[in-house]
A = this chain, B = another copy of it.
Amino acid sequence: MTITPLASRFVAHFGEMGSRWGINRTVGQIYALLFVSNKPLNAEEIAEALSISRSNVSMGLKELQAWRLVKLQHQPGDRREYFSAPDDVWTIFSTLAEERRKREVDPTLTMLRDALMERPSEPGDKFAQQRMKEMYEFIELFTSWFSDVQKMEPKTLMQLMKLGSRVKKLLEVKDKIAVIAGSKSK
């Protein structure tokens, strides 16, 4: 298994980027390789393409599986495991976001909730709790919005993203309609 210069640049770039995001370099490289590969690859092929040890690939793939970022499949008459990245970029992004939420955002919310439950005994704590509350509410709003977005069909989502800040107009129209209809919505 060899790698073209074009793919090589892509792979190297994502190796670098990975390390900036707390993902180890080889994991980033493995994923990038799978992403641009036109067919599923087995561990041996990955190791050769990236010039890393077989065991390193094993660990990297384990990590990617834990993140639900790779699909594992089998080829008929071959007992080796073949891996590929999902076809859809939005799926990839969405999975990544969901996993990070589980691993980082949820524990943060728990920590904040616990901290907010406590009676502010020492002087500065009242202020600190106020700040934590702001952060808590922001994260809450943001994550529940994102989970809503995740449920939307990609088509609706595209529409919304393309609308960009012109969505403001639409919200104004909505409010007018609400007023006319005598709705309590504000």
A-side residues, CB < 8 A to B, are 4-7, 9-10, 13, 17, 19-22, 35-38, 89-90, 93, 103-104, 107-108, 111-112, 115, 118, 120-122, 124-125, 127-129, 131-132, 134-135, 138, 141-142, 144-145, 148-149, 151-152, 156, 158-165, 167-168, 170-171, 173-174, 177
Contact = CB atoms under 8 A, between A and B. Distances in A.
Contacts of A17: 104, 108
For the complex formed by this chain, how many copies does it contain in all? 2
Contacts of A125: 4, 6-7
A161 B142 contact: yes
Nearest to A118: B6
A156 B169 CA distance: 10
Given A17-B108, A22-B19, A168-B152, A36 B128 contact: yes
A161 B158 CA distance: 16
A148 B170 CA distance: 15
